[in-house]
Amino acid sequence: MQEVAPYTITPYMETDDETGETGEYLSYDGSAVTYMLVNAAQEQQTQIETLNKALEAKTQEIEDLNARLARLEALLSSNNNTNATLSSARLEQNQPNPFNSNTVVRHFIPETVRQAEMRVFDISGKLIKTIIIDGRGEGQTTLQAQTLSAGTYLYSLVLDGQILESKQMVLTKGQ
């Protein structure tokens, strides 16, 4: 104690009544020791509170990052599902091609697709016609030439708003 807190120790001289010997003794101030312990406990409590606040902030940050990670994983998962769905879809070349009255386009649309349509464009890219496709699985769409002029057209299979594939067809009209 004398090395740690010398101010709490006081030397004094005392004579033993029986032997008459005088010796030097040390006394300590108990209230000073109590004061030191109370101050140390208060300082420790302040450090604990500071560490708890830092821990709470880090815990909240981890929770926020975990929530963001979960949202990103869900987004990636839905994108992967969409890509897997679209990769199993198929658009075939129209038959016959060239054609002069009707032509048939075969396609495969996965069951998980919510909206499917075939879009027909002229060679300049102008949308001419949109055909909603209600069926899923293997199917075919018949295109009729009566409202179209002779020329080259593009047709695209659009699944859930994404163009899967486009192909070219030629319409010839007999004279």
- Convert the pLDDT of each residue in 146-169 to its tens digit: 888 899 999 999 999 898 899 999
At residue 87, the pLDDT reads 66
Give me the sign of the Cα torsion angle 48, 54, 58, 61. Answer: positive
At residue 167, the pLDDT reads 93
What's the pTM value of the predicted model, to 2 decimals?
0.52
Q: Is the pLDDT of residue 66 over 90?
A: no
At residue 5, the pLDDT reads 76
Tens digit of pLDDT for each residue in 10-38?
Answer: 888 999 888 889 998 888 887 877 888 89
Q: Which fold has domain 89-171?
A: Immunoglobulin-like (2.60.40)
Model confidence at 79, pLDDT cuts 50, 70, 90, reads low
Closest C-alpha among 39, 33, 38, 27 to residue 4: 33
Closest C-alpha among 175, 171, 124, 121 to residue 149: 171
d(CA 156, CA 94): 11
Q: End-to-end CA distance of the chain, in Å?
A: 119
Q: What is the DSSP letter of 13?
A: E
At residue 78, the pLDDT reads 60
Tens digit of pLDDT for each residue in 116-143?
Answer: 999 999 988 899 999 999 999 999 999 9
Closest C-alpha among 154, 147, 145, 142 to residue 172: 145
Residues of the chain above pLDDT 70, percent: 91
Residue bearing tokens 């010796």: 23
Two tokens at 165?
A: 């594939």
Q: Is the pLDDT of residue 80 over 60?
A: no
d(CA 88, CA 49): 58
At residue 77, the pLDDT reads 66
Q: Rounded mean pLDDT of 86-106?
A: 89
Q: Rounded mean pLDDT of 56-81?
A: 81
Domain ranges across the chain = 6-85, 89-171
Closest C-alpha among 88, 141, 80, 77 to residue 110: 88
Closest C-alpha among 164, 154, 153, 157 to residue 131: 157
